Structure formats: structure tokens, C-alpha cells
Structure 1
């Protein structure tokens, strides 16, 4: 049985990590969050110690190690994006491996420092890149690898998820803390595109504001038109009519890739891979973080025939 601790246990994504820890047979020693609405722990690890102060959480793990000879194997990180770097370092200093939600860091150069610290540490750094485990995406990658064609695939990616006014007030609405729309809701998709279609060759941003971004990417094996938004007013009419708050679509050569289902268990699959000696580390996450940073910094260019707007 592996020993886990978790930071950010009151967050939106934390239940997926708690479920994964439970399903891989792990034991949760301690949990931390400055918010105390964490009744979810009763469903998974009611005996776990809970803290609202980082210092007491850190001291508790140290006491377990020194006084009870209980070592921490993994620190799961579900905190806001801008805190990931610091919390990964804390996990490594504790002698544990870090399993971190996307993105590992906000800026590419932070990865270099993490790599150096990882080399000096007993533990490793793992990034949750769950789309790489999705059956539909695995099938697409296999198709691309085995196609042997020289022409590039034509890809359209659209992801619109309605977010209320709370979003702007929270850390997610602060670009310096979240990385903006492209990083906060898009990094998994950009990682998936690079994993399937190869290295980026061209990168244009056509539209950018606080809620919506669109652009064009050319990979080794694909031309991609992408559109991301947290503005519910951008949802297609049929979504509005059906009361849906999210629209997600990827077409490859005008054929829809259905991946709306199957998300719920991918964190467990990710954890299983890590515990079996696999998992995706810093280098696996690097290309998508570099790409999103470039997107965030690029000036927009006029919309051309390479892209579309809904």
C-alpha cells in the first residue's frame, strides 16, 4: 500500500484524485485546503488528517516520518495553477513523488528548475495528461501512426464551456494565476494534439480576449483550427435549446471523434500507470506548456481562410 497526501482537497478536480487513490489501493495520510468544505473525504478516507494551514500540514508529514517511520510516497496536487510549482517542490523535498493536475507550471522556464530539483530528489514529477489514455484518442493516434500518408489531416477543435461571473472573481480569471483561457481549459487539448500529430510547425492566434481565443496550428501531420471559450453566449443553438452548458467537438477530416464519454475513470488509469512504473513526467508536459505560453504571448493576426468562427 502506498501512502498519499493531497493538497487542494476542496477543489473541483480533487474527487477524481481521491477516487483514483482509493481504487489503486492507496492510503491517504493527510489532506490540506484553506477551505473546510471537505465532506467528500468521508466517502473515501474518513480517517485522513485534515489541515487548513500549510505549516501544520507540512509539520504533520514530517512528524509521521521522524516519529512513526511512516514515509510519504506521493503528494497529489489539485491547487490553483500558479501554486503547482511550489507544491511540487514541497513534495520532492518531502521525499515523495508529485502527481500534479494540469498544468505543471505556468511558464516553460519553471520546468528547467523542476528538472534540476527532481534529479536531486528521491521522488519524481508526474503530470495528469488524461486524454492520452482516452480510448478514442488512443485509436486516433494509432490511425495516424499507421496511416503512412504524406498529406496532413484537417482538424477542427472547438471547446466551449459556460462559466458564470464567479470565474472572473476567482483565481481562474486572473491570467497571472491561471495562465488564461488557453492554459486553463485548453492545455489538455493542445497536449493531445501534439502527442497525436507531432511537433508544431506554425502557430497563429486570430482572436483573443478574457473569455475566448481562437487560432491556427500546423503540426507535422495536421492542420488544426481551434476555438476555446468560457462564454456561454458562444454555445451553438442546439446546446442552448437542450440546456447544455458545454460543447466539445474534434473533427478529423470532417469526421467527428467522439470522446465526450469515458472521462470519469481516466485519473484512475493515470494513477495505475504511475504506480506500475509508467506515467508522464516533465518532458512529456513540456511541449504543451511551451505551446500555450507562445499562444498567450502572441499578437493576433487577421482571420484568414485557415480558420473559422462559430
Structure 2
């Protein structure tokens, strides 16, 4: 049984990490969040100590080690994107491995610096890249690898996940903290695409606003038109009619890839691989971080060339923009 701590206990994704720690028969001994609405801990580890101040959390970990010889083996990090780098460093310097939510960091050069901290401390940084353990994605990768070596596939990626006005008030609405739409909701898809289809050859952005992004990515084995949005209005009417606020679709050569099921256990599967030493480290995360960094800084070209059909959908005002 390994000892875990968790930073960012009140966030949306934290319960998946708690569940993964529990289902892999390990123990959460302490958690930290500056927001104290964390009753979900009771469903998994009611005996875990909880702190709202980093200094007390840090002192507690040190006291456990030196007074009771209780060591932290892994630190799970579920904090806002811009804090990942600092919390990873803290975890490694407390002599634990770090298991960090995506995106690992916001900029490619942050990965290079973290590699030095890994070497310095002798500890390991693991990234949750859950689509790499999804059965449908694994089967797709095997199909591509076993298919014609010279074939370049035509792919459309659409991911629409509605967010309310709160999004723009939170850290997620600040590009400097979240990395923007493509980073915040799309990084795991870009990771999956590069994992399956190889190196990036071309990266073009057609549209990039507060609520959507669209572009074209060319990989060694695929030409990908992609569209991401947090605006409910862009969701297809047939999906809205079912009362759904999320829509994801990947088509390859016009054929839909069915991967809507099997998402609930992906964090547990990721943890199982990490605990066996087979998880994904910082080098595995690098391609996707480079892709989203470039998307964030590329000048949108508008509706030119081979763009995703959804890119033509009517643009929306920022919800906080004053009407004329």
C-alpha cells in the first residue's frame, strides 16, 4: 500500500483521482485546497487530513516523515493548469513522485526545466493521458500501425462541451492561467492524435476566440480538421433534443470512431500503469504541449483552405461584453 497526498481536492477532476487511489488499494493521507468544499473525501478517505493552507500542509507532511516515519510515495496534482509546474516541483522535492492532470504544463520549455528537477531529486513525474488507455483508442493505434504504411488518413475531430458564464469568471477563462480553449479542453485529444498518427508536419489555426477554436493539423499519417467549443449553441440540434450538453466525435475516412463509453475507469487504469512503472512521463506529454502552445500563438487564418465544417458556425459575443 502506497501513501498519497492530493493537491487540488475541491476541483472537478479530484474525485477521479481519489477513486483511482482507492481502487488501486492505496491510501490518501492528506489533501490540500484553499477552498474547503471537499466533503467528497468522505466517500473515499474520511481519515485523510485536510488543509486549506499550503504551509500547514507542507509542515504536516514533514512531521509525518520525521516523527512517525510515514513517507509520501505519490502526490496527485489536480490544481489549475498554471500551478502544475510549481506543485510538481514541490512534490519531487518532498521525495515523492508526482501524478499530474493534463496539461502537464503550459509551455514546452517548462518540460525541459522539470526534467532537471527529476534528475536532481531522483523522483518521477507522471502525466494522466487517459485516452492512451482507452480500449477504442488502443485498437485504433494498432489498426493504423498494422495498416498500409504509406496511407495518410482523413480525420475530423469535434469536441463540444458546454460551459456557463461561470467559466469566464474562473481561472479557466484566463488564457494566462488555463492556456485557453485548445489547452484546457483539447490537450488530451491532441496527445491522442500524435500518439496514433505520429509527428506533426503542419499546424494551422482557422478560428480562435473566447468560446471556440478550429484548425488543421497534419501528422505523418493523418490530415486532421478539428473544432473545439464550450458554447452550447454550436451543439447539433439532435444532440440538444436529447438533453445533452456535450458532443464528441472522431471520424476517420468518414467512419465514426465509437469511443463514447469506457471513460469512467480511465484514471484508475492510468494509476494501475503508473504503479507498475509503465505510466506516461514528461517526454510523452511534450508533443501535445508543443501543439497547444503553437495553437495559442498562431494567427488565425479565417475560413481558408481545408477547415472543419463547424468553423462556419456563427461567432458569439463574450458573455461579459457590453451590448451596444
- TM superposition shift of 1:305: 4.1
- TM superposition shift of 1:304: 3.0
* Structure 2: distance between partners of 1:75 and 1:41: 16
Contact 2:3 2:72 in 1 (8 A): yes
Q: Is 1:38 the equivalent of 2:77?
A: no
The unaligned stretches of length 5 or more in structure 2 are 311-324
The residue aligned with 1:134 is 134
- TM superposition shift of 1:78: 0.3
Contact 2:23 2:268 in 1 (8 A): yes
Contact 1:161 1:231 in 2 (8 A): yes
The residue aligned with 1:210 is 210
The residue aligned with 1:179 is 179
Deviations 1:9-43 (A, max 9, x none): 11000000000000111111100111111111111
- Over aligned residue pairs, what C-alpha RMSD do you find? 0.8
- TM superposition shift of 1:308: 2.6
Q: Is 1:271 the equivalent of 2:271?
A: yes
Contact 1:96 1:122 in 2 (8 A): no
Contact 2:186 2:228 in 1 (8 A): yes
- TM superposition shift of 1:223: 0.3
* Structure 2: distance between partners of 1:285 and 1:125: 10
* Structure 1: distance between partners of 2:308 and 2:265: 33
- Number of aligned residues: 310
1:186-201 alignment runs, 5 A limit: 186-201=186-201
* Structure 1: distance between partners of 2:138 and 2:116: 31
- TM superposition shift of 1:251: 0.4
Q: Equivalent residue of 1:247, what SS?
A: strand
* Structure 2: distance between partners of 1:131 and 1:223: 19
- TM superposition shift of 1:122: 3.0
1:100-249 alignment runs, 5 A limit: 100-249=100-249
Contact 1:200 1:217 in 2 (8 A): yes
Q: Equivalent residue of 1:185, what SS?
A: helix
Q: Equivalent residue of 2:225, what SS?
A: strand
Contact 2:156 2:308 in 1 (8 A): no
The residue aligned with 1:294 is 294
Provide the TM-score with structure 1 as the length reference: 0.99
* Structure 1: distance between partners of 2:84 and 2:164: 25
Moved segments of 4+, more than 3 Å: none
Q: Equivalent residue of 2:47, what SS?
A: coil
Q: Equivalent residue of 2:30, what SS?
A: strand
The residue aligned with 1:99 is 99
* Structure 2: distance between partners of 1:241 and 1:102: 31
The unaligned stretches of length 5 or more in structure 1 are none
- TM superposition shift of 1:302: 3.4
Contact 2:131 2:192 in 1 (8 A): yes
